[in-house]
Amino acid sequence: MGVIAQFLTRKRPFARFALTAVSTWVVLGGRGLAAEGTRMARLLDDGDLPGARQRLSHLCARDATGLDAGQLARATTESLAENTSDAVVAPLLWGAVAGIPGLLGYRALNTLDAMVGYRSPRYSRFGWASARADDLANLVPSRVAAALTVASAPLAGGFAESAFRIWRRDGKHHPSPNAGQVEAAFAGALGIRLGGTNSYGGRTERRGVLGDGREPEPVDVRRAVRLSRAVGLAALAVAVAVTR
């Protein structure tokens, strides 16, 4: 579909611009991501743990049963970091490099990974392929997102030097070759510690520790939202520069 749209508008610059704008609006998730992060911050500030546990499913597939405020803050911050790369930086870069096909193709691949990419007996083979393809598509964008997190850290009251150090030191400690890059950068920028043990549908996953700061607190969720927005704006600037 994206290739056809690109072909049909090759001699119609205004139509190409309009379709690119619409496609970008469709695939970008930055606004929704910030909104979900803000909702989680509000629930945690109000001490509404049942509501926060239920709301976490809008950000990730983690089992929230029994998670306390700090653990919910960690899960939210990690999801904000990972999705800043997946739902904002990556589609912008793919759109800048490959136009409408890049925007729509990346979103289709990322959605497929979210649907069947998790390890399960039912989708073990098909899911493996989509997950590996998604890893490949995010290989460069995730590292660009981490670099932009370093550059944007001061805009969100964070620390660029710490973000760079933790990114380079701990980014490889995550089971995902991409998520760990930006999560580590977020941890360093915010001066907190991410990673640890997570539960997904009865399956326990022990991840490496990212950062050497304190455990996340509810207030850090709002800081992570500000950082995510700053990174998104920086990614937009990079995408515009690439297309010129």
Q: Residue 203: what pLDDT?
A: 75
Tell me the residue type at 67. L
Residue 142 CA: distances (Å) to CA of 81, 135, 184:
10, 9, 11
pLDDT at 98: 82
Please tell me the predicted confidence (pLDDT) of residue 201.
67
- How many residues comprise the chain? 244
If you ran DSSP here, which 8-state letter would residue 86 be given? I
Question: Digits of tens for pLDDT over the chain (244 positions)?
Answer: 544 545 445 545 545 444 455 445 455 777 899 999 999 999 999 999 999 999 999 998 889 998 999 999 999 999 999 999 999 999 999 988 888 777 878 877 877 756 554 555 555 555 556 677 888 999 999 999 999 999 999 998 999 999 999 999 999 999 888 999 999 999 999 999 999 877 776 677 778 899 999 999 999 999 999 999 999 999 999 998 988 6
Looking up tokens 């910030």, which residue turns up? 34
Give the predicted TM-score (pTM) of the model: 0.87
Please report the sign of the dihedral spanned by the C-alpha atoms of residue 220, residue 234, residue 195, residue 42. positive
- pLDDT confidence of residue 116: 52
Residue 150: what pLDDT? 98
Rounded Cα distance between 102 and 1, Å, is 11
C-alpha 159/C-alpha 142 separation (Å) is: 19
* CA quadruple 35, 173, 90, 112: dihedral sign: negative
Which amino acid would we find at residue 221? V
Domain boundaries in the chain? 2-243
pLDDT in the model for residue 14: 45
